[in-house]
Amino acid sequence: VNDRLRRSLVRIGAMAAKETQHVLRDPRTLYMSLGMPVVLLFLFGYGLSFDLDRIPIAVEDRDRTESSRALVDALTASGELEEVARAGAGEAEALFRRGEALAALVVPEGYGRDLSARRAARIQLLVDGADTVVANQVLSKADALVRAEARRLLGPDLSRRPPPVQVQVFTLYNPEGRSALYLVPGLAVYLLAITAVLLTALTIAGEWERGSMEQLFASPVGRLEIVLGKLLPYLVLGILELQLVVAFGAVAFDLPIRGSGPLLFAFGVLFLVGMLGQGLLVSVVAKNQLVATQAGALSALLPSLLLSGMVFPIENMPSVLQALSRIVPARYLVHALRGVLLKGNGLDVLWPDLVALLVFAMAVIAIATARFQRRLA
């Protein structure tokens, strides 16, 4: 028995060596699994952000008094709101359509008079609501600037008094609120899903398509050995990728590793095994590479991006999608990675994630092998 096992391992090793050569020969595969993560991390870390530094606005001062000029100065002095046009609400929409301004401020006539009469002085802000993310920022920035101006108008003695209730805010795990720390674990999961599902689905679907799978079956290599041999290099590639992403995150963005390294590794391997099983299943069902890529993208990439909580919080989704997200393995890995890396959680907190990943991996591999056997019969 021992001898049979040894020989079987040799055959698996041979298959794996052949597949490894395939991977190494096409630099694109390597770039995709090892170069792309670095490029994406770089983009996420340095290029992409939700926060606008300068928001172009149009300003119409119908009051033309000293106080109205002071207000416009106060709102635009910091440059966060930048006056790009002198135009009123009437022309504002034309500016919005051309993307030249994102908001229009109108100071109505009588602003200065109302202020000195101690009546509430109203100013209008018309915001381009088409881009919801930007509109929210415009609203909160304008609100903060107007409050500051109102405080200044209170006069020195009133504005310097401490507010009656002070709120002290402590932020745990990511005190500077850097979005890279939030995005990197999610990005790692996404990239792992791509490597594991799509690359395996493609390579095995390619063998079916070319008919070389049947040739392989005629060889002395067992069927399970073929599959294991083909999947092994991608498991290794996935593990390398996970380490690369975490290491790059740690070096470039000070991503902390507060929990246990081996636990992180265990989560990664378990997730990869499930994803490789899914890739195998996709290839068996799809039979050709074109269908396999689209089916892989639909069943693995989109759920991993949308329903995993990597960018879009699961708590905000309607309950149907929240329920659906429970069968998306990426959800559990995203939660586990954030827990291990940022919070320093251990198994006492994360065991449900481990169980879920284990159940998914076993289920998908059982289904995939069953379909694989039936396909051959």
Partner 1 sequence: VSAGLAPSRPSARVQLASVFRKEVFQTVRDRRVMFLLMVAPLVQTVVFGFAVDFDVDRVPTVVVDLDRTAESREHARRLLADRTLAPVGAAAGMAEAERAIDRGDAAAALLLPRGLGADLLAGRPAEVQVVLDGTDPNRAIVAGGAVSRYFGELGERMARERLAARGLPEPARIELVPRLAYNPELRSPPFMVPGIAAMLLVIVTTLTSAMGLAREREMGTLEQVLVTPVRPLLLLVGKMAPFVVIGVVDVMLLVGVGTWLFDIPIRGSPLVLLAATLVYLMTTLGVGLLISTVSANQQQAFLGGFLFAMPAILLSGVMTPIRAMPDWLQLVTRLNPLRYFVEVMRGVLLRGAGLADLWPQLAALVVLGVAILAVATSRFHKRLA
Interaction with partner 1 in 170-209: which residues (CB under 8 A)? Answer: 170-175, 177-179, 181-182, 194, 198, 202-203, 206
| Dihedral, 359, 365, 371, 377 alpha carbons, nearest 10 | -130
Question: Which of 71, 213, 273, 280 forms a contact with partner 1 (CB under 8 A)?
Answer: 71
| Least distance to partner 1, CB of residue 135, Å | 6
Chain centroid, CA 370 distance in Å: 34
Question: Which of 9, 17, 21, 49 forms a contact with partner 1 (CB under 8 A)?
Answer: 49
| Least distance to partner 1, CB of residue 301, Å | 9
Q: Does 36 bind partner 1 (CB under 8 A)?
A: yes
Q: Which residues 263-322 are close enough to bind partner 1 by CB under 8 A? A: 286, 289-291, 293-295, 297-298, 302, 306-307, 311-313, 315-318, 320-321
Q: Which residues 208-267 are close enough to bind partner 1 by CB under 8 A? A: none
Question: Which of 12, 15, 40, 368 forms a contact with partner 1 (CB under 8 A)?
Answer: 40
| Dihedral, 369, 375, 376, 377 alpha carbons, nearest 10 | 100
Mapped to the 3 state alphabet, what secondary structure does 257-303 carry?
CCCCHHHHHHHHHHHHHHHHHHHHHHHHHHCCHHHHHHHHHHHHHHH
**Which residues, 6+ apart, have CB-to-CB distance to 187 below 8 Å?**
37, 40, 41, 44, 245, 310
**Which of 133-139's residues contact partners 24+ apart within 8 Å by CB, and which partners?**
133/50, 134/52, 134/55, 134/102, 135/102, 137/50, 137/51, 137/52, 137/55, 138/55, 138/57, 138/81, 138/102, 138/103
The interface mask with partner 1, positions 108-127, x = CB under 8 A, is -------xx-xxxxxxxxxx
Which of 265/312 has CB closer to partner 1? 312
Q: Does 97 bind partner 1 (CB under 8 A)?
A: yes
Which of 248/365 has CB closer to partner 1? 248
| Least distance to partner 1, CB of residue 42, Å | 11
| Cβ atoms of residues 193 and 331 within 8 Å | no
Which of 254/366 has CB closer to partner 1? 254
Count CB atoms within 10 A of the CB of residue 182. Answer: 17
Give the phi and the psi of residue 104 in degrees, each rounded to 5: -135, 125
Q: Does 166 bind partner 1 (CB under 8 A)?
A: yes
Region from 10-18, 168-176, 217-225, 228-236 binding partner 1, contact rule CB under 8 A: 168-176
Region from 7-15, 41-49, 231-239, 260-268 binding partner 1, contact rule CB under 8 A: 41-49
| Least distance to partner 1, CB of residue 365, Å | 23
